[in-house]
């Protein structure tokens, strides 16, 4: 037997009635807030020096509260026979090890390595990839090597003999 579909009941929800903005604003302005007149108007009318003075006052009050709390804690510790709270040990300095399979950072740059490899020799890009491919973790070693070669050619440090073959 197939189940009969029951019609869904529609829920009737009342929309909240909004009060006119003027009346709400007047009430807020009259009563101010829990801490006196509205803070926005006070801050807007205050100068920078007055704001700094108010902030300094708040910090001093907070410091006194914390100092009294610290004095209470020290009194409790003294009751246990401790003169002062034991100091927490400093966390050991983090030494980051290289990820497995990764090499340490190398010295120098790819253009310097290309220039050194080409010193007095005619090498193709494939030969250079074989010699210097370990210097980059890129999957496209040819592109990285070509960038280095072009940088050296623009500076005039290496020359192109023919297509794909360079010398210094």
Question: pLDDT value at position 143?
Answer: 87
| Residue 124 lies inside a defined structural domain of this protein | yes
Nearest to 116 by CA among 158, 81, 61: 158
Listed residues 85, 120, 148: the one ending a domain: 85
Confidence check: pLDDT of 161 > 50 = yes
| Residue 96 lies inside a defined structural domain of this protein | no
| Residue 55 lies inside a defined structural domain of this protein | yes
Residue 24 pLDDT class (50, 70, 90 cuts)? very low
For residue 157, what are its two tokens? 């440090």
Residue-wise pLDDT tens digits, 132-147:
777 777 888 888 888 8
Confidence check: pLDDT of 65 > 70 = yes
For residue 94, the 8-state DSSP code is P
Confidence check: pLDDT of 73 > 90 = no
| Residue 80 lies inside a defined structural domain of this protein | yes
Q: Cα(129)–Cα(141) distance, rounded to whole angstroms?
A: 7
Q: Which ranges of 32-140 does DSSP label H, i.e. alpha helix?
A: 39-45, 48-79, 110-118, 125-132
| Residue 18 lies inside a defined structural domain of this protein | no
Whether the full predicted model's pTM is greater than 0.75, yes or no, is: no
- 116 and 70: one domain? no
What domain range is 68 assigned to? 35-85
- 81 and 114: one domain? no
- Average pLDDT over the chain reads 76
Q: How many domains does the chain have?
A: 2
Listed residues 50, 85, 120: the one ending a domain: 85
Residue-wise pLDDT tens digits, 27-51:
444 555 555 555 556 667 778 888 8
| Residue 50 lies inside a defined structural domain of this protein | yes
């Amino acid at each position: 037997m197939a189940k009969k579909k029951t019609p869904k009941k529609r829920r009737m929800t009342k929309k909240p009635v909004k009060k006119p903005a003027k009346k709400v604003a007047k009430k807020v302005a009259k009563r101010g807030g829990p801490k006196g007149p509205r803070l926005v108007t006070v801050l807007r009318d205050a100068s920078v020096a007055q704001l700094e003075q108010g902030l300094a006052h708040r910090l001093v009050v907070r410091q006194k509260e914390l100092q009294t709390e610290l004095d209470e804690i020290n009194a409790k510790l003294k009751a246990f026979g401790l003169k002062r709270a034991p100091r927490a040990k400093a966390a050991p300095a983090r030494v980051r090890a290289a990820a497995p399979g990764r090499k340490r950072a190398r010295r120098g740059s790819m253009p310097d390595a290309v220039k050194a490899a080409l010193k007095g020799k005619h090498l193709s890009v494939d030969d250079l990839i074989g010699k210097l491919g370990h210097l980059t973790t890129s999957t496209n070693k040819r592109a990285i090597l070509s960038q280095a070669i072009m940088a050296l050619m623009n500076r005039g440090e290496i020359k192109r003999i023919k297509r794909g073959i360079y010398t210094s």
